[in-house]
């Protein structure tokens, strides 16, 4: 599934630690002993917590141990001719302890029977013994220790106090009444040794209680910590399993440690691989995919974090994973493994691809829309100019129709009729006498007609030249977009203004030009002209919608100090922009016009960004005009990857 390294090719961050030798009982012997002790416990006692199970095992183990000691004591008593009544009674108590431990559900009953048996056995043995010093025997110290361990400090104190009274007080008093051999022990020495032994047993109880309290506190802390760890682990597992992302942890030898359900599903669904802890994660990968991971995992084992994207394509379709690899560091700061996260971003990448395609389509449409807008302006201006041409032509035709040239033709006919006697015709004929003044007046009239027709023809020529310049600009604009050209910005602005020249004159819009001395720049002429046309058109609409009579549109060109950018400002004193709309002016589909489509400014902002520029707007408020600022880089030299064309 994932292109990963095999254990053979994956370097290890640190060699595995050498195993330590522990000094303990052989595992077979320890296991056999634990099994024997557990066989003496009931099912409910065997299911206890580990710390309680140890307590139960010690209880039955002590019963067995004292039973063996008691057997030795019985045999010794018989060999010495003494009656083993006390030993037999103790044997019954130890046997009862084992029976209760095997059949009971709670440990308190067998524990109390065991402690009572020990107490009675020690007390009775001490009283019936011929030796007066039995009350201070070292074996008496076992009872407080076992009592505290098995039944707790409180019950253990009661048993210890009873032992102190019986052996430390009553036994010396009893011996003082029945008498003792003064040669072996004085009465004062007897009292001292027994009372001191009783106090020592209380000290043993106190130390055992402290140890038990500390142990219980430590056990409670451990149990609380374990509960917290389990709770934390449960929450972590919940997050670990609920995420749709792939999460896999491996050790330094690329052996799988953990994998969440998303990872298991992906591996099984797409690769037919069942993830098992301890198995090499990358053993099914082809050799070429392992090489791609080699350098990455070496970096991760050195403590670095990596993030990259992987693309897989198989019969199941396309899968794009946003993959990140993080090192796992132990307490000593050494990298002992790594965690691999993989997020399925296939849908996002496909959406981005569709978005990119839509953007390209939008740009193409915008160019077509820009060309259509230019063409509309061209047709509008050409139409207006053709009206002037039509008027001029009509005037010329009318002047020609009303011209006195026909009178000159009649004069020529008259002269042709009197061609033989021209002198007499001019001297004696009344028509001939009127002819010279008529020719003089006709000459003056024809001169006036000539001048009038020349004026109309000059106007007609200007109109045709205007049409020619507009068509020429349209041809420049219609060239393939995307070519970087050496553009004189003021000249291009004038071309954009020329498209609206007739409209500005008709609407009485005064255009103010403020062009600083700026060098030509290398820029996409098509995109820049499209932006300028949109900005000028928007300013014209804002001025038309404004009730103000003094309608002014200003265009300012200057070099921004210290930034290396060219600033083109288009200002108007039209309807302005509401403050709440300033942030949405360049959003697709947003418009404040009744018949607008919210397309022009959005496309202009995209075009500015494509030229590494920026388009912004500002306005003091409604009816206070607006300013659009176009910022472009001052690229005065042709980029190395572009072929510039002169403009």
Tens-place pLDDT, residues 28-44: 777 888 888 889 999 99
Q: What is the mean pLDDT of the chain?
A: 80
| 310 in the same domain as 327 | yes
Q: Does residue 17 sit within a domain? A: no
**pLDDT of 112 strictly over 90:** yes
Residue 647: C-alpha distances to residues 31, 452, 559, 626, 637 (Å): 96, 39, 20, 30, 14
* Most confidently predicted of 86-90, 211-215, 230-234, 557-561: 557-561
Query: pLDDT at position 7, please?
Result: 37
Contacts of 348 (CB under 8 A, 6+ apart): none
Burial 105-138 (b: 16+ CB within 10 A, else e): eebeebbbbbbebbbebbbbbbbeeeebbbbbee
Strand partners, 574: none
| 189 in the same domain as 70 | yes
Query: pLDDT at position 303, please?
Result: 87
Residue among 469, 485, 552, 481 at smallest CA distance from 512: 552
Give mean pLDDT, residues 207-222. Answer: 86
> How many distinct structural domains can be found in the chain?
4
Give mean pLDDT, residues 301-310. Answer: 87
Query: pLDDT at position 3, please?
Result: 42
Band of residue 384 on the pLDDT scale cut at 50, 70, 90:
low
| 470 in the same domain as 431 | yes
SS3 617: strand
Contacts of 385 (CB under 8 A, 6+ apart): 463, 466, 467, 470, 502
How many alpha carbons lie under 13 Å from residue 21 in its C-beta half-sphere? 2
Sheet holding 521-524, edge to edge: 521-524, 484-487, 645-646
| 339 in the same domain as 366 | no
Two tokens, residue 264: 């298991």
| 634 in the same domain as 606 | yes
Q: Does residue 7 sit within a domain? A: no
Compare 238 and 509 and report the one with higher pLDDT. 509
SS3 91: helix
Residue among 471, 479, 474, 470 at smallest CA distance from 645: 479
Compare 67 and 458 and report the one with higher pLDDT. 67
> Chain centroid to CA 400: how far?
82
Q: By the 8 A CB rule, do 451 and 462 touch?
A: no
First to last CA, the chain: 56
Give mean pLDDT, residues 210-236. Answer: 85
Band of residue 368 on the pLDDT scale cut at 50, 70, 90:
low
Assign residue 327 the CATH number of its domain: 3.30.450.20
Strand partners, 615: 630
Q: Does residue 603 sit within a domain? A: yes
Largest CA distance in the chain: 208
SS3 344: strand
Q: Does residue 22 sit within a domain? A: no
Residue where a domain terminates, one of 444, 474, 504: 474
Domain hosting residue 558, numbered range: 484-646
Q: Does residue 421 sit within a domain? A: yes
**pLDDT of 18 strictly over 60:** no
Q: By the 8 A CB rule, do 604 and 526 touch?
A: no
The lowest-confidence range among 73-82, 385-394, 493-502 is: 385-394
Query: pLDDT at position 6, please?
Result: 36
Compare 421 and 595 and report the one with higher pLDDT. 421
Residue where a domain terminates, one of 316, 344, 372: 344
Q: By the 8 A CB rule, do 527 and 610 touch?
A: yes
| 395 in the same domain as 281 | no
Share of the chain above pLDDT 90, in %: 17
Compare 415 and 149 and report the one with higher pLDDT. 149
**pLDDT of 551 strictly over 90:** yes
| 249 in the same domain as 120 | no
d(CA 523, CA 604): 14
| 93 in the same domain as 193 | yes
| 248 in the same domain as 339 | yes
| 569 in the same domain as 514 | yes
**pLDDT of 271 strictly over 80:** no
> Chain centroid to CA 611: how far?
30
Band of residue 19 on the pLDDT scale cut at 50, 70, 90:
very low
**pLDDT of 172 strictly over 70:** yes
Query: pLDDT at position 185, please?
Result: 67
Assign residue 595 the CATH number of its domain: 3.30.565.10
Residue 601: C-alpha distances to residues 242, 512, 615 (Å): 45, 22, 9
Q: By the 8 A CB rule, do 534 and 608 touch?
A: no
Alpha helices in 478-524 (DSSP H): 489-498, 501-506
Q: Does residue 16 sit within a domain? A: no
Compare 640 and 147 and report the one with higher pLDDT. 147
Radius of gyration of the chain (CA): 57
Query: How many CB atoms within 10 Å of residue 525?
Result: 21
> Chain centroid to CA 296: how far?
21
**pLDDT of 8 strictly over 50:** no
Contacts of 407 (CB under 8 A, 6+ apart): 438, 442
Compare 382 and 644 and report the one with higher pLDDT. 382
Give mean pLDDT, residues 467-477. Answer: 61
| 504 in the same domain as 432 | no
| 174 in the same domain as 35 | yes
Q: Does residue 362 sit within a domain? A: yes
Give mean pLDDT, residues 365-393. Answer: 63
d(CA 328, CA 308): 19
* Most confidently predicted of 135-144, 207-216, 263-272, 587-596: 207-216
Query: pLDDT at position 17, please?
Result: 43
Compare 460 and 523 and report the one with higher pLDDT. 523
Give mean pLDDT, residues 636-646. Answer: 54
Residue where a domain terminates, one of 302, 329, 344: 344
Q: Does residue 231 sit within a domain? A: no
Q: Is 1 exposed, middle or buried, given 0-12, 13-18 or 19+ CB atoms closer than 10 A?
A: buried
d(CA 535, CA 555): 10
Query: pLDDT at position 230, please?
Result: 86
Strand partners, 308: 323
Q: By the 8 A CB rule, do 274 and 34 touch?
A: no
d(CA 120, CA 115): 9
């Amino acid at each position: 599934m994932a292109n990963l390294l095999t254990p053979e090719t994956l370097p290890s961050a640190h060699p595995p630690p050498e195993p330590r030798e522990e000094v303990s009982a052989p595992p077979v012997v320890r296991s056999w002993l634990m099994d024997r002790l557990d066989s003496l416990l009931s099912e409910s006692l065997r299911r206890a917590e580990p710390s309680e199970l140890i307590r139960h095992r010690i209880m039955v183990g002590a019963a067995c141990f004292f039973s063996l000691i008691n057997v030795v004591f019985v045999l010794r008593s018989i060999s010495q001719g003494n009656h083993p009544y006390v030993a037999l009674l103790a044997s019954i108590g130890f046997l009862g302890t084992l029976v209760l431990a095997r059949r009971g559900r709670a440990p308190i009953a067998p524990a109390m029977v065991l402690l009572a048996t020990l107490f009675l056995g020690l007390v009775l043995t001490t009283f019936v013994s011929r030796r007066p010093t039995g009350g201070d025997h070292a074996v008496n110290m076992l009872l407080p220790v076992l009592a505290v361990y098995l039944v707790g400090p409180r019950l253990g104190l009661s048993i210890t106090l009873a032992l102190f009274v019986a052996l430390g007080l009553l036994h010396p008093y009893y011996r003082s009444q029945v008498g003792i051999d003064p040669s072996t022990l004085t009465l004062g020495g007897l009292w001292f040794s027994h009372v001191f032994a009783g106090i020592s047993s209380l000290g043993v109880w106190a130390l055992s209680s402290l140890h038990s309290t500390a142990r219980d506190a430590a056990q409670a802390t451990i149990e609380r910590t374990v509960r917290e760890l389990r709770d934390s682990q449960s929450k972590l597992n919940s997050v670990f399993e609920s995420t749709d992302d792939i999460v896999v942890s491996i050790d330094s030898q690329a052996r799988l440690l953990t994998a969440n359900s998303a990872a298991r599903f992906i591996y099984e669904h797409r690769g037919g691989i069942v993830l098992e802890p301890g198995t090499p994660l990358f053993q099914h990968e082809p050799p070429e995919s392992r090489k791609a991971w080699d350098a990455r995992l070496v970096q991760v084992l050195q403590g670095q974090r990596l993030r990259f994207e992987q693309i897989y394509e198989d019969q199941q379709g396309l899968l794009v994973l946003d993959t990140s690899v993080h090192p796992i560091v132990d307490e000593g700061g050494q990298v002992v493994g790594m965690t691999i996260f993989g997020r399925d971003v296939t849908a996002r990448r496909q959406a981005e691809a569709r978005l990119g395609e839509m953007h390209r389509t939008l740009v193409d449409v915008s160019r077509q829309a820009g060309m259509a807008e230019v063409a509309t302006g061209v047709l509008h201006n050409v139409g207006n100019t053709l009206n002037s041409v039509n008027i001029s032509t009509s005037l010329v035709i009318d002047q020609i129709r009303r011209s006195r040239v026909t009178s000159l033709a009649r004069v020529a006919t008259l002269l042709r009729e009197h061609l033989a006697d021209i002198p007499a015709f001019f001297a004696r004929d009344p028509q001939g006498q009127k002819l010279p003044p008529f020719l003089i007046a006709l000459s003056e009239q024809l001169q006036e007609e000539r001048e009038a027709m020349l004026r109309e023809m000059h106007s007609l020529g200007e109109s045709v030249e205007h049409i020619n310049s507009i068509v020429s600009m349209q041809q420049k604009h219609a060239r393939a977009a995307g070519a970087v050209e050496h553009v004189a910005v003021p000249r291009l602005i004038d071309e954009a203004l020329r498209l609206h020249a007739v409209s500005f004159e008709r609407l009485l819009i005064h255009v103010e030009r403020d062009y600083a001395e700026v060098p030509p720049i290398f820029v996409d002429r098509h995109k820049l002209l499209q932006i300028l046309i949109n900005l000028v058109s928007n300013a014209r609409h804002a001025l038309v919608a404004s009730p103000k009579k003094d309608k002014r549109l200003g265009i300012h060109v200057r070099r921004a100090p210290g930034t290396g950018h060219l600033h083109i400002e288009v200002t108007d004193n039209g309807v302005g922009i509401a403050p709440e709309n300033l942030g949405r002016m360049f959003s697709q589909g947003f418009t404040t016009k009744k018949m607008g489509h919210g397309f022009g400014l959005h496309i202009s902002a995209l075009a500015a960004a494509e030229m590494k520029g920026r388009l912004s707007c500002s306005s003091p408020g409604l009816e206070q005009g607006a300013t659009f600022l176009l910022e472009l880089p001052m690229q005065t030299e042709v980029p190395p990857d572009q072929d510039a064309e002169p403009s």
